Amino acid sequence: MGIAVDPTNNRLVYVGANGSGQIRTVDPVTLDDRIFAQLAPAEAAFLDGIFFNGDSSKLYVANRSPVFRVTVVKRDTALTGVFEKHIPLASEPDGIAFHGTTGDVFTSNTDGTISRINPLTNVVTAFANGGFRGDLAAVGSDGCWYVTQDGVRYNNAATSPSGDSIVKICDGFLSQRGVIAGNLTPLTASNPTGTFHSVVAALVDTGGNPIAGIPITFQILGGPNAGVNGTSTTGANGKATFSYSSSTVGTDFLRATYQSGGQPVFTNSVSATWVTPAGTLKCDANSDGLVNRTDLVLIQQALGQSVGASDVRDYNGNLVIDPADVAGCRTRCTKLNCVI
């Protein structure tokens, strides 16, 4: 059954007993419990996931019986809401989420599909299919929607119906009240060694508004610069930046962490790949960052030429391009058999 935090008052809003048509609200401190919305029991026999929109003026409810649909409850006071409309679905909904960027509602369905609903036009489109039965779903602090499935589908299309899995769908979804959503970008990057790379952490509240003044710790978890950390504080735009350089080739994996509600929260992870600068890789005659057959051909064409001390074609360093340079560079090919 669904439960959500009311963004306007921090009360817990939850689905009542099956067949009651009730959505209830309770104060977790005083335990004051009352009806938030009373729906017609005949039209709301089995309610499940619930989620508020960005300004908490609407509550979207996965309604599984007597027909499949999303039921929209419109807030009329701080503690109550009233029925607004039903949006029919082709599949039985379970988990539900609201996308802060598009304003669309998403449902994970029991037939392994995911539906996308425009709550203004009531247009429903298929967002994903080919999965397994969806059930519990939640939005993480990274703005991604995490959906449980009672089966596993791998990247190679192989399946394991006997296992369970969690599908991650990014990003832009609204997190629950009290959770600051953090996102780290860019997801991937490639930089020559000796230059600087920057990552940006952006924090927003449940309404999508930037949050200033939050200290961010950036961590390099793995790669040639593992263990390097940095700190920065979000500005008025809710963003904090971390920049660093590398003298070693390889791929770093980074993430950021911050405090939300007194608890540490982690952003998504990103990667930064460091490569040898063009024109300095030994045997890279065409300066494309690779050593392959193209480079060997260029070196062969230069046989007999006198060159300077820094010429990448001169493998043995004797200042002349000779057959020994071709043979030596063949051992430095980036890929097996020097394939292009």
Considering the domain architecture, whether residues 163 and 187 belong to the same structural domain is answered as no
Among residues 11, 19, 16, 14, the alpha carbon closest in space to that of 3 is found at 14
Same domain, 151 and 221: no
Do residues 75 and 139 share a domain?
A: yes
Do 67 and 127 lie in one domain? The reply is: yes
Give the predicted TM-score (pTM) of the model.
0.57
Residue 155 resides in a domain: yes
Do 126 and 229 share a structural domain?
Answer: no
- Residue-wise pLDDT for 315-333, tens only, equals 999 999 999 999 999 998 8
Q: Tell me: do 17 and 139 sit in the same domain.
A: yes
Least confident stretch, 42-56, 66-80, 185-199, 202-216: 202-216
Does any domain span residue 206? yes
**Average pLDDT taken over every residue of the chain:** 89
Query: Is 30 part of a structural domain of the chain?
Result: yes
Degrees to nearest 5, angle at CA 294 with 289 and 298 = 105
The verdict on residue 174 lying in a domain is no
C-alpha–C-alpha distance, residues 84 and 97, integer Å: 18
Are residues 210 and 65 located together in one domain of the fold? no
The parent domain of residue 163 ranges over 3-169
Q: Which of 169, 194, 226 is the last residue of a domain?
A: 169
Residue 283 in domain: no
Higher pLDDT, 102 or 182: 102
- Segment 204-260, tens digit of pLDDT: 876 678 889 999 999 999 999 999 999 999 999 999 999 999 988 899 999 999 887
CATH number, domain containing residue 64: 2.120.10.30
The reply to whether 164 and 186 lie within a common domain is no
Buried b (16+ CB within 10 A) or exposed e, 105-121: bbbbbbebbbbbbebee
Q: Give yes or no for a contact between 119 and 129, defined as CB atoms under 8 angstroms apart.
A: no
Burial class (CB within 10 angstroms; exposed 0-12, middle 13-18, buried 19+) of 201: buried
Q: Enter the tokens of residue 120.
A: 């203004």
pLDDT band at 272 (very low <50, low <70, confident <90, very high): very high
Q: Which has the higher per-residue pLDDT, 8 or 36?
A: 36
Mean pLDDT of 278-285: 79
242 and 193 co-located in one domain: yes
Of the listed ranges 26-40, 151-165, 216-230, 297-311, the least confidently predicted one is 151-165
Residue 287 lies in a domain: no
CA 57/CA 234 separation, integer angstroms:
29
| Residue owning tokens 């040639």 | 224
Q: What is the CATH number of the domain that holds 204?
A: 2.60.40.10
Average pLDDT, stretch 36-65? 93
Last residue of one domain, picked from the residues 114, 147, 169: 169
Residue 63 confidence class, pLDDT cut points 50, 70, 90: very high
Instruction: Let me know: does 67 contact 88? Beta carbons within 8 Å.
Output: yes
> For 282-314, how does the pLDDT look when each residue is reduced to its tens digit (9 = 90+)?
898 888 878 999 999 999 999 999 988 878 899
Q: Mark whether 78 and 210 lie in a shared domain.
A: no
Position 340 scores a pLDDT of 77
Length reported for the chain:
340
Q: Which of the four pLDDT bands, split at 50, 70 and 90, describes residue 176?
A: low
Judgement on whether residues 139 and 36 belong to the same structural domain of the protein: yes
Q: What are the C-alpha distances in Å from 217 to residues 6, 88, 170, 178, 329?
A: 30, 45, 22, 20, 43
Q: Which of left, alpha, beta for 154 (phi over 0: left; psi -120 to 50: alpha)?
A: beta
H helix or E strand, kind and range, residue 296: helix 293-301
Residues 297 and 160 in one domain: no
For 39, phi then psi, to 5°, come to -95, 160
Domain-embedded: residue 288: no
Domain end residue (candidates: 275, 310, 330): 275
Structural domain tally of the chain? 3
User: Burial of 300 by CB count in 10 Å (0-12 exposed, 13-18 middle, 19+ buried)?
Assistant: middle
Is residue 69 one of the residues assigned to a domain? Answer: yes
